[in-house]
A and B are shown apart, each in its own frame.
Chain A
Amino acid sequence: MIHQYILNGYHIVLDVCSGSVHVVDPLAYDMIAHFEELPKEVLLRQLQEKYRSDPDVTDEELENCWQEIEALREEGSLFSPDVFAPMAGTLKEKSAGIVKALCLHVAHTCNLNCSYCFASQGKYHGDRAVMSFEVGKQALDFLVANSGTRRNLEVDFFGGEPLMNFEVVKQLVAYARSIEKQAKKNFRFTLTTNGMLIDDDVIDFANREMSNVVLSLDGRKEVHDRFRVDYAGNGSWERIVPKFQKLVQARQGKNYYMRGTFTHANPDFLEDIRQMLKLGFTELSMEPVVCAPDDPSALTEEDIAVVKKQYEELACLMLEREAAGEPFTFYHYMLDLADGPCIYKRISGCGSGTEYMAVTPWGDLYPCHQFVGEERFKLGDIWSGVTNTEVRGEFAACNVYAKPECRDCWARLYCSGGCAANAWHATGSITGTYEAGCELFRKRMECAIMMAAARADRVQNQG
């Protein structure tokens, strides 16, 4: 299977199953489009006709172009067959029973009252609660005990607002550090925060212990303050921005992301990216809102058209800034073509419900943070382990080839079937697909791959 598109002047051809990416001229682009369906003579004759007015497209050039395409086909980097479908189920078995990442819900409570929050203002449609050290410690022990030979273990302090339970966060990190050497593990911690409680103590701790910090900021003040308000209805932008700036400055290059959400109110989210840049932030992530289609903040079809255009403009802005020596990162455009994930990862996906689980403040296990509160998906708890083997089995069997709509999608080995929670909310099945999310994902991949083409072009021109 191949996918062809033109973006920012680049003619791009992806060979889906080999992972190859080719940047071609218009003649090759047209020839590849019909290479497999037309006999050579017919194809060349049609193109001869189409390019009649172009003096460069001689019979010899047509033949040369055909030979280039044929050589790529023979070496397996164009029109490569899909050899992965038969092995899809068995690839995920490699990690059967292993848990390597936990999302610790240390606080099911929040000091902001954002109406678009998928976690229902941090409560996950339940009662307010905070995790005790004993529960958190047991969760870390559960993780170590179930991680097999995995060395890198990931723990995300999440909520609600995790800094509302900061003392326990510090105690849990200290505990993890005290056991990791003997257990031959390497803990990588992430803190996801709205910023309200950041102070010097938090900054020192986060910059010492957190591999990554995710800071919630929606961009422009008026956009951010529309949703991200306290319980008195006051916007939080002015209070959190200086704290975020101080934290990022002190971080000295360690990973962080400014993570925003865009909604029906701001499909022109590139303006929010520009605002983040003006504030001095360079590691950025903006996510489409996840909510019911009838929610007032849900993206409409018209919004999605705007967003797709914004994604293209964002890619061009990033290329311009790179060329000017002022690069910035957009999380969804971080595409490492040469050293990205293996086919195992590409088929298996995010690992929710198998390698990755969420832990509630009282120690229940769920397939991921987005399933917390959905009783049907409760997997077990951190003392007894996974007892709901039926649900775990559903997630273990969920891979990109288990999703009928993904089988013919060119982006299937870039998204690996997408988010199980989004699929479930949209279709009632974790093997369904959230089509609006797919449409945006495909556009993001087209942009990211175009950027790779532009960078290669720049290097070639400089050389």
Chain B
Amino acid sequence: MERKHIVSLKTRNLCASAANGGCGECQTSCQSACKTSCGIANQKCENSKKAE
């Protein structure tokens, strides 16, 4: 269906990531730059086996 009203950005499917996630290889949030706050959305996934 061609859409005229809505453009969807390319995003990771979080529900699907439940199946293969949790490898733990990604950066620990506070090690990067902040040191006084927490945000995890800016961490890149480093799971070499992720399928979704």
Contact = CB atoms under 8 A, between A and B. Distances in A.
Interface residues of A, number: 94
Interface stretch (A14-22, A162-170, A385-393): A14-22
Contact of A156 (B20, B24, B31): B31
A214 B35 CA distance: 10
Contacts of A356: 28, 30-31
Contacts of B30: 103, 350, 352, 356, 368-369, 419
Nearest to B52: A342
Interface in A15-31: 17-25, 27-28
A415 B43 CA distance: 11
A338 B36 CA distance: 26
A290 to B, nearest CB: 5
Interface in B13-52: 13-15, 17-18, 20-22, 24-47, 50
21 contacts: A18-B15, A22-B9, A23-B6, A23-B7, A68-B5, A80-B15, A83-B15, A83-B18, A84-B18, A91-B18, A101-B31, A103-B30, A154-B31, A257-B33, A332-B39, A336-B41, A349-B29, A350-B30, A414-B40, A415-B41, A437-B37
Interface of A: 17-25, 27-28, 61, 64-65, 67-69, 71-72, 76-77, 80, 83-84, 87, 91, 94-95, 98, 100-101, 103, 118, 150-152, 154, 156, 158, 188, 190, 192, 212, 214, 257, 259, 261, 285, 287-288, 290, 331-346, 349-352, 355-356, 368-370, 413-420, 422, 437, 441, 444-445, 448, 452-453, 456, 460
Interface of B: 1, 3-15, 17-18, 20-22, 24-47, 50
Given A18-B14, A65-B4, A415-B41, 5 more contacts: A19-B14, A64-B5, A192-B35, A337-B9, A344-B17
